[in-house]
Amino acid sequence: MEIFRLPALTDNYIFLLSDAASQTAAVVDPAQPEPVLQQLEQLGATLTAILNTHHHADHVGGNRRLLQQFPEAVVYGGTEDRGRIPGQQVFLTEGDTVTFAQRTAQVYFVPGHTRAHIAYYFPPTEAGGWGELFCGDTLFAGGCGRLFEGTPSQMVDSLSKLRSLPDTTRIWCAHEYTLNNLKFALTVDADNRALQDRFNEVKSARRRGEATVPSTLGNEKRTNPFLRWDQPALQAAAKITDPVRTFARIRGMKDQF
């Protein structure tokens, strides 16, 4: 399974999964149809699946046009998004699986950003290999999604699920927010040397016009304040020791950043 990162809109990423052997492809969160159709044409591939993480327009905006071009493609999404994802045919819950390119993704229910958000995790195919996590707007490189429909407690539970995955998991998040996320992270975790180093690396990468996605879960655990609600430095910044309230305070600070 080869993964193509396709820029879309202002700062979105669409992910096209390609199976060269069968000349088929699946797409995760097609914000727009055009980048997907262009990549499919270059590959000579047929689109067989659309994997949506949630219903927001910048994640499902390409569904209808792609279905016009590939009417046999199957549209997947969370069961609680019923009626909100264009063309949805499969309604997924925690523990369900989706198979593509002889790899099986595990479905995680991760509400918080929205009430119906899901994520897709493809475990590694060999010991020591990379797992692939498509987490939409739940977990970002250096950050997490805003709480539009969920609660801090829900988001902490959701992020805890993702944090429990192996460090060797690539984080294919849906936006290029990393530099701004890390600028904020330094305001609440200023003495974190790994975070300081990462900020400098990301700043240089963005100056060169390079993408910062995918990240890795190991890196996120060391530097992302929204996976560190139980660390003393973050609790000190929030002036709270309760983990959920710490998360909520830091998320509120980020909203005003």
Q: For residue 55, indicate whether it is catalytic.
A: no
Max distance between CA atoms of the chain, in angstroms, equals: 55
Copy the structure tokens of residue 170: 């690539």
Q: For residue 167, indicate whether it is catalytic.
A: no
> Range of 54's domain?
2-255
Tokens 């959920």 label which residue? 244
User: pLDDT tens, 182-208?
Assistant: 999 999 999 999 999 999 999 999 999
Q: For residue 230, indicate whether it is catalytic.
A: no
**Alpha-carbon span 142 to 113, nearest angstrom:** 16
What are 140's strand-pairing partners?
143
Instruction: Say whether the peptide bond before residue 123 is cis (omega within 30 degrees of 0).
Output: no
- Domains contained in the chain, number: 1
Copy the structure tokens of residue 86: 């264009």
Active-site hit among 55, 113, 117, 189: 113
Q: What is the pLDDT of residue 127?
A: 86
Note whether 53 and 12 are within 8 A (CB). Answer: no
Active-site hit among 19, 29, 55, 56: 56
Q: For residue 29, indicate whether it is catalytic.
A: no
> What is the DSSP code string of 229-240?
TTSHHHHHHHT-
pTM (predicted TM-score)? 0.96
Q: What is the pLDDT of residue 128?
A: 85
Half-sphere exposure of 173 (CA within 13 A, CB side): 24
User: pLDDT tens, 210-221?
Assistant: 999 999 999 999
Angle between helices 152-163 and 243-255 (to 10 degrees): 100
For the chain, give the percent of residues with pLDDT over 90.
Answer: 99
Q: Residue 217: phi, psi to the nearest 5?
A: -65, -35
Active-site hit among 29, 55, 59, 96: 59
| Low-confidence residues of the chain: pLDDT under 50 | none
CATH classification of the domain holding 11: 3.60.15.10
Copy the structure tokens of residue 152: 């801090």
Q: For residue 175, indicate whether it is catalytic.
A: yes
